[in-house]
Structure 1
Amino acid sequence: MINKFRISIALCLALGLMVHFQSAAQVPDSIPGKMAIAGSRPDRIILHPGENGETSIAVNWRTESAVTESFLELAPATPGPEFQKDVKQFSASTSKFTTQKEDEPILNFNNHAVKVDQLTPGAMYMYRVGKPGLWSEWFQIEMPDSKAGFSILYYGDAQTNILSQWSRVYRESHLKSGRVDVTLHAGDLINRHNSDLEWGEWFKGGAFLHSSIPTIMTPGNHEFRDVKITEHWRAQFNLPANGPAGVKELEETAYEVNYADVKLISLDTEQIDESSEMLEIQKKWLREILTNNPKKWTFVFIHYPVYATKAERTNVKLLDDFRPIFEEFGVDMILQGHDHAYARGQANTIAGSDKLDYHKGPVYVVSVAGPKMYDVNKQEWMVRSAFSTQLFQTIRINGDELLYESYMATGELYDSFVMTKKKGGNKIVNKIPSTPERNGSREQ
């Protein structure tokens, strides 16, 4: 009886401490507090393309602080377990990380990073991370080969209710589309820039998909505080550092990923919006990398939209300083976020006029993947728009033809077009389904 009494007291104390921890940290119900705590086995494993997306990869993962040495092992994929005889091992660079967001607990852990190059386009590989006795599972990946075709999954903001409501969109998108070459996020992955609990939701929401499909992202305003990007960004991601040379503020936020036929460009629009110096630096860099650009297809992905879903939200700096560059160099698509609504259309400046041609020029898309919603005001540039709709987009390229499809969270097609490369400009044929346009307002 005495032993049972002692056990009961111990249990009550333990439960009391757990309740105290969750109360003090205000851990939301959608994510257990333990998800913020790193362990000895790797978690938050994420795969990125390298600067050459067809021949290189970059992987990042997290462990507790006690794990000071970690590795990546890689082998060509085989139909059976025989791949194990051809495993190559790569030592990771390890960095210590400490974080606390206001009412959240202080967290200490290590981040590990490895880059691997000289891989074969179109080949399949397997990799795992960790160390003997503490390995992750093996992940199977396929290197892109854009000459044989190329595919993108593109998402607008996740931002809020990430695990509870954004995750279904991310998971449905992969079930719907199958294997793609890259996933692309247009900023505001989370709501509070250095909330490790929210970052934990984002990683759990994508789970093994983050580890299996190369992922790239551009930062949104919610990844910043006082024009400084969250310390999580460069610690937990392993993005290309080939942006404007020598500009530390833009490392891994303004960059490019190149494939044989495709160029993907991230611009840091928060710093464009807040700093005239960063605006001019990125403007100069963008012009440099687009001059004599040999790629057949070019995409720019940014957070703030050039053309917004409400006219008053249009970013004048992007409109005045970057739209002319997009038009001059024939950028095919501008993939955007921020507005928590959907719109797609074209716009091109008519020489010698202040009017626009809405049948030529780059295609601009604004989309949202999470449940936070804003209103939409119909404008001339829009071909299709949607209010209060979570979506994901697939872009599939085959030679001179591009198929764009936007799906609602339920997997139902909402918008589509085919773009074909032609002399004098791209030709677009709309393939919009019969689904009624989702109009409305938060005031209704």
Structure 2
Amino acid sequence: MRSRVAMTVTMVLAALLLPVPSGVAASSGFTRILLTSTATPATSQYVSWSRSRAASGQRVVTVAPDGTVRTSPAVRKTGTTKRTAGSTQYRYVARVSGLTPSTRYRYRIVSGSTVSSWRTFRTAPRAGEPFTLLSFGDTQVDNAGVPESTIDRAVKRYPSGELMLQAGDVVNKPWVGREWADLHRALTPSGQSRSWISSIGNHEQCKVPGPCRSGSARGFRSYFQGASNGFDGQRRTWFRVDHGPARIIVLDSFGSDLKRQRAFLIDSLRTNRRAWSIVLMHRGPFAARGDRDNAEIRRWFLGPLEKYGADLVLSGHDHSYARATKAGVTYVTSVSGPKYYDTSAKDFRENGARRVKWAERTSTFQALRITPTTLRLRAVVSHRAKGAKPATAVGRTLDLFTLRR
């Protein structure tokens, strides 16, 4: 027993001392640190970061509660450029594997004599264990303002929220460096202790009117590491993640490969052995804005969603709040930034869906408590602009519902 305790103490001391050469303090040489989910987040974790210059031999050191130390090498990603994302960032990612579900790990990034401060993350629970996630619609503009306060408010109110979902349009003009800087400010510190999963929007990939530069969404693809599921022809902007009792299926609703994504969606829904199927996409099958018609999304995705039993579809794009139901599927559209559109039931009504809740000029975050038998969503108001409807105060519940197995 004494030897086992001594071994654990030695392992912890090694983890604390190994990364830091004598006389070297923790450095800020690693920026824009972000955790994102692998396909198997109960046993693995992506850690990504930026450097101002290229460096080899970078790694992530993790320490388990029992003192076990792991070292995971980093690989260099396609970084950003000043032309396509407003700044030159050398981007790296490490996959930390061999982890235990529902376990909190300490981690730090190491590169020669440069080390980061210690941070923590918690692995996902097993399929039968409940968890809480937080979801957000478009941030898009003024990320250092309303979106930042929305995220901070959500984390403060729900500190057990261990997974963050975002429905795309993380920036407005992808070639403007300040917008990415503001976004990472909004994602800090939550993105360094919780995994973020984001569906790509139209703005990140310049599917917008007027001049736009993104280098094929280079900024988004550099910063957000998508999971890989081994599906034929899969791109890293659409994937699935199994987290606790939920399978989260992420789609690129402005992609040029919607037919292939349809096949992936069908496969993901049919093979799901988890209790719940949650689909995240930037624009959903029904537009919450009166002058829009999401016919293309309905053409490719609505049939599989209904036929193969999706439970919840989370989306953004329309800069308002709406909840609707059709054929047993619940659709929630939301916004977390300060850009708003007027809302309408037109596209829902004309295509067989029933809109049951709405709000406009109102930012929210959604807290989802997911167990093997219930999925409970609470939408909380985080900001109200002039003319906001209905008159729900900041901090109060705008919408609340429960799905049951």
TM-score greater than 0.5 by the shorter chain: yes
1:287 aligned counterpart, secondary structure: helix
1:400–1:70 Cα change, 3 Å: same
Which of 185, 203, 206 aligns to 1:204? It is 185
CA contact (8 A) 2:171 2:183 kept: yes
Matched with 1:94 is 76
Within 2, Cα distance between the matches of 1:226 and 1:342?
22
Does 2:98 match 1:118? yes
Does 2:139 match 1:178? no
CA contact (8 A) 1:41 1:130 kept: no
Does 2:107 match 1:127? yes
Alignment of 1:361-376 (within 5 A): 361-376=328-343
Matched with 1:313 is 292
Does 2:243 match 1:259? yes
Matched with 2:222 is 235
Matched with 2:378 is 405
1:364–1:197 Cα change, 3 Å: same
CA contact (8 A) 1:96 1:109 kept: no
Within 2, Cα distance between the matches of 1:164 and 1:68?
36
Matched with 1:246 is 233
Matched with 2:8 is none
Within 2, Cα distance between the matches of 1:220 and 1:95?
21
Within 1, Cα distance between the matches of 2:203 and 2:80?
20
CA contact (8 A) 1:244 1:281 kept: no
How big is the shift at 1:234? 2.5
2:401 aligned counterpart, secondary structure: strand
TM-score normalized by the length of structure 2: 0.82
1:175 aligned counterpart, secondary structure: helix
Matched with 2:135 is 154
Output one character per residue of 1:138-184: Cα deviation in whole Å (capped at 9) or x when no partner.
Answer: 11222121422022211000000111221000100101111223100
CA contact (8 A) 1:127 1:140 kept: yes
How big is the shift at 1:195? 2.7
Which of 120, 124, 127 aligns to 1:140? It is 120
CA contact (8 A) 1:65 1:96 kept: no
Unaligned stretches of 5+ residues in structure 1: 1-38, 349-360, 422-444
1:197–1:306 Cα change, 3 Å: same
Does 2:312 match 1:345? no
CA contact (8 A) 1:158 1:166 kept: yes
CA contact (8 A) 1:58 1:238 kept: yes
Within 1, Cα distance between the matches of 2:118 and 2:43?
20
How big is the shift at 1:66? 4.7
2:254 aligned counterpart, secondary structure: helix
Matched with 1:286 is 265
Does 2:15 match 1:42? no
Q: What is the RMSD computed on CA atoms of the aligned residues?
A: 2.1
1:291–1:98 Cα change, 3 Å: closer
Unaligned stretches of 5+ residues in structure 2: 1-26, 209-214, 383-393
CA contact (8 A) 1:173 1:411 kept: no
CA contact (8 A) 1:128 1:137 kept: yes
How many correspondences in the alignment?
355
CA contact (8 A) 2:38 2:46 kept: yes
Which of 156, 170, 184 aligns to 1:189? It is 170
Counterpart amino acid of 2:238? A
Percent identical: 27
1:95–1:320 Cα change, 3 Å: closer
CA contact (8 A) 1:161 1:370 kept: yes
Counterpart amino acid of 1:395? L
2:144 aligned counterpart, secondary structure: helix
CA contact (8 A) 1:162 1:202 kept: yes
Matched with 2:40 is 52
Within 1, Cα distance between the matches of 2:54 and 2:99?
32
CA contact (8 A) 2:140 2:337 kept: yes
Q: Which deviates more, 189-198 or 52-61?
A: 189-198
How big is the shift at 1:109? 3.4
TM-score normalized by the length of structure 1: 0.76
Matched with 2:89 is 109
How big is the shift at 1:218? 0.5
Counterpart amino acid of 2:73? S
How big is the shift at 1:197? 2.1
CA contact (8 A) 1:128 1:135 kept: yes
Output one character per residue of 1:83-113: Cα deviation in whole Å (capped at 9) or x when no partner.
Answer: 4xx43222211246351248x86x4332111
Which of 167, 176, 194 aligns to 2:148? It is 167
1:313 aligned counterpart, secondary structure: coil
Within 1, Cα distance between the matches of 2:364 and 2:221?
27
CA contact (8 A) 2:365 2:380 kept: yes
Output one character per residue of 1:370-410: Cα deviation in whole Å (capped at 9) or x when no partner.
Answer: 00000012455211110100100011112211111000003
Within 1, Cα distance between the matches of 2:173 and 2:185?
17
Which of 342, 365, 377 aligns to 2:344? It is 377
Matched with 1:322 is 301
CA contact (8 A) 1:265 1:300 kept: yes
1:326–1:61 Cα change, 3 Å: same
How big is the shift at 1:243? 6.4
Within 2, Cα distance between the matches of 1:138 and 1:175?
21
Tell me which structure has the larger Cα radius of gyration. 1
Output one character per residue of 1:46-69: Cα deviation in whole Å (capped at 9) or x when no partner.
Answer: 011211121111110011115333
Counterpart amino acid of 1:370? G
How big is the shift at 1:206? 1.8
